[in-house]
Structure 1
Amino acid sequence: MKIVKEEIEIDKHCSFRVFSPRLKNYFYWHYHPEIELVFVEATNGIRHVGKNISDFEDSDLVLIGSNVPHLNFDYGIATDYHQIVVQLRENFLETNIAPIPEFGPIMKLLEDSYLGLSFYGQTKEKVVEKLKQIYLRDNFFSLLDLMEILQILAVSTEFERLNKEDTRIRFFLHDKIRMGTVYHYIHENYDKNPDVNEIADQVHLSTSAFCRYFKKQTDITFTDFVNRYRINQAKTYLLQEGAISEVCYRVGYQSISYFNKLFKELVGETPSAFKRRYSTSARS
């Protein structure tokens, strides 16, 4: 479960590849030299890029720079989903973009992608429409579509930088914490009472050393990480028509008022409002 370097093979006649991986039951904490654009359409899921750990609803569109560690976006998704991934050949920037002055904005976009860039709004809508069309095109017209996608992203203001600092692989090579072990432990215990002492022992650190290191590696505390994981699971159960009180206990909370407060803090609305919004969407 330690971090893995993915070896990507791109057809020798192409400068990029487009595919739809399905790895939802597999923890894949990995990196690769290729820049990657990921679109995933799902009710909700976990986003972990560099140090940033967050979640998404409905869909996510993220540009991930070269050698930035990230978790597969479909990890743990319990509902139907669709995913499109575009991977640019390792020398794509140097050979296809840098020599052409008109591609200046795209060059800056790809250079900035080491922070992880999450796009939203009309930008996401336009790009997703074009991503879904790429499958229907031959290599030449797919390349034209890709360049248009990159230009849309390059001039957009509808994005969020996921990391505040460089999180490329050299910062993770000596990582004493195997994130796969942490995720696996929380997945097995989130509905009980995850014990920081137990997971610290599993990764061979003292509890205080584990807490300091985990905060340094993810910018959040272990307790925050557990709460986010629990609330992400709660959203899935709520969408499966679970009663709020039942879901509260199912994900490990003993106080409904605390669950409601934490859910609103992390999601931006109460569990009842969340259920109502998705029930309305399903009927319309």
Structure 2
Amino acid sequence: MNEIQLERVDFELGKSFKLFSPRLRNTFLWHYHPEIELVYVQADAGIRHVGTHISTYTQSDLVFIGSNIPHLNFDYRLRSDYHQIVIQLRTDFLGEAISISPEFSAIRQLFKKADQGIAFTGETKAIVGEKLAKLGQLNSYKQLIELMDIFNLLAHASDVEILNTNQSSKHFILKDKIRMGAIYEYIDANFHQKPDVNVVAAKVHLTTAAFCRYFKRQTNMTFTNFVNQYRIERAKNLLMQGNNVTETCYAIGFESLSYFNKLFNKIVGQNPSDFKRNYSGKVL
């Protein structure tokens, strides 16, 4: 049984942050680390899984993740080419300056909000993406100055989404690393084959009734509803990659096209055909 992995982050001597471009799309890396992380991904369509939040991103994603929030690597299962930029900050980033300097008050609030995970969209995502792409061309000092400008921009942005509104979810997941890591990995491996609540309950050594109570307390959803939402997010991903509605329906494990359309409409707010057509017509 796999547990959530604690990622060890190594920093270069004399640097308070790490800048790199990982490529892990064939690895299910459900992990956490004490370091705060800013992630920017350019890809056609991918899955965003931060804490108990699961959703789809299109063409690019910009997410700020606080200390010890469990998350899946953002390039997991990406099919086409992509580019990813990750910034990881030391736990004592800038020492006490952020905590006590009034000039950093907005950034201080941003770091607090990051404890729930924050996704940025629109103009903010585009501007920050361009800035991050140029960081590698600067020396360490100028990188730090530019990074503070980026955080200031994010701190004053309005095009944001808080990913985990339940403050207790992070602590609950971390308290029970083995169970939640095994559950998410089982769902990911079997979402297209009718995941069995009895099987996953046995995997984490709970009775089915106890597992259902546990899972509902953890995610605020029943196991069936969570799996359906996960399937629909995968369906959105496939549709955005050019698959048609019928092949998408069967690829994620539904045997009835009419039921797939009904469930998709219930969760997304539009039917799969409209979603695919609207996505194809967007300029993001």
Q: Same fold (TM over 0.5)?
A: yes
Question: Residues 1-284 of structure 1 correspond to what in structure 2 (within 5 A)?
Answer: 1-92=2-93, 94-167=95-168, 170-175=171-176, 178-280=179-281
User: For the Cα contact (< 8 Å) 2:65–2:115, is it kept in 1?
Assistant: yes
Taking a change above 3 Å as real, the CA distance of residues 150 and 241 of structure 1, as seen in their structure-2 partners, is: closer
Cα shift at 1:247? 2.1
Task: Tell me how far apart the structure 2 counterparts of residues 220 and 210 of structure 1 sit (CA, whole Å).
Answer: 12
Taking a change above 3 Å as real, the CA distance of residues 167 and 6 of structure 1, as seen in their structure-2 partners, is: farther
User: For the Cα contact (< 8 Å) 1:114–1:168, is it kept in 2?
Assistant: no
**Structure 1: where are the runs of 5+ without partners?**
none
Task: Tell me how far apart the structure 2 counterparts of residues 60 and 37 of structure 1 sit (CA, whole Å).
Answer: 10
User: For the Cα contact (< 8 Å) 2:51–2:70, is it kept in 1?
Assistant: yes
Q: What's the % identity of the aligned pairs?
A: 51
- Secondary structure, in 3 states, of the residue corresponding to 2:210? helix
Cα shift at 1:140? 1.3
Task: Tell me how far apart the structure 1 counterparts of residues 242 and 124 of structure 2 sit (CA, whole Å).
Answer: 32
Taking a change above 3 Å as real, the CA distance of residues 179 and 266 of structure 1, as seen in their structure-2 partners, is: same
Cα shift at 1:90? 1.1
- Secondary structure, in 3 states, of the residue corresponding to 1:79? coil
Cα shift at 1:71? 1.7
Task: Tell me how far apart the structure 1 counterparts of residues 250 and 169 of structure 2 sit (CA, whole Å).
Answer: 38
Cα shift at 1:53? 2.5
Greater mean alpha carbon deviation, residues 243-252 or residues 62-71: 243-252
Taking a change above 3 Å as real, the CA distance of residues 175 and 101 of structure 1, as seen in their structure-2 partners, is: same
- Secondary structure, in 3 states, of the residue corresponding to 1:73? coil
Paired letter, 2:192: D
The number of residues matched between the two structures is 283
Greater mean alpha carbon deviation, residues 175-184 or residues 257-266: 175-184
Taking a change above 3 Å as real, the CA distance of residues 60 and 174 of structure 1, as seen in their structure-2 partners, is: same
Task: Tell me how far apart the structure 1 counterparts of residues 146 and 130 of structure 2 sit (CA, whole Å).
Answer: 11
User: For the Cα contact (< 8 Å) 2:56–2:236, is it kept in 1?
Assistant: no
User: For the Cα contact (< 8 Å) 1:93–1:110, is it kept in 2?
Assistant: no
- Secondary structure, in 3 states, of the residue corresponding to 2:193? coil
**Structure 2: where are the runs of 5+ without partners?**
none
Task: Tell me how far apart the structure 2 counterparts of residues 242 and 113 of structure 1 sit (CA, whole Å).
Answer: 34
Cα shift at 1:187? 3.4
Deviations 1:39-64 (A, max 9, x none): 12223222222222333222221111
Cα shift at 1:167? 4.5
Deviations 1:87-106 (A, max 9, x none): 11110153442343211111
TM-score normalized with structure 2 length? 0.89
Task: Tell me how far apart the structure 1 counterparts of residues 268 and 81 of structure 2 sit (CA, whole Å).
Answer: 21
- Secondary structure, in 3 states, of the residue corresponding to 1:14? coil
Paired letter, 1:9: D
User: For the Cα contact (< 8 Å) 2:169–2:219, is it kept in 1?
Assistant: no
- Secondary structure, in 3 states, of the residue corresponding to 2:22? coil
Taking a change above 3 Å as real, the CA distance of residues 94 and 240 of structure 1, as seen in their structure-2 partners, is: closer
- Secondary structure, in 3 states, of the residue corresponding to 1:39? strand
Taking a change above 3 Å as real, the CA distance of residues 253 and 74 of structure 1, as seen in their structure-2 partners, is: same
Taking a change above 3 Å as real, the CA distance of residues 123 and 242 of structure 1, as seen in their structure-2 partners, is: closer
Task: Tell me how far apart the structure 2 counterparts of residues 211 and 70 of structure 1 sit (CA, whole Å).
Answer: 22
Deviations 1:138-158 (A, max 9, x none): 111111110110000111122
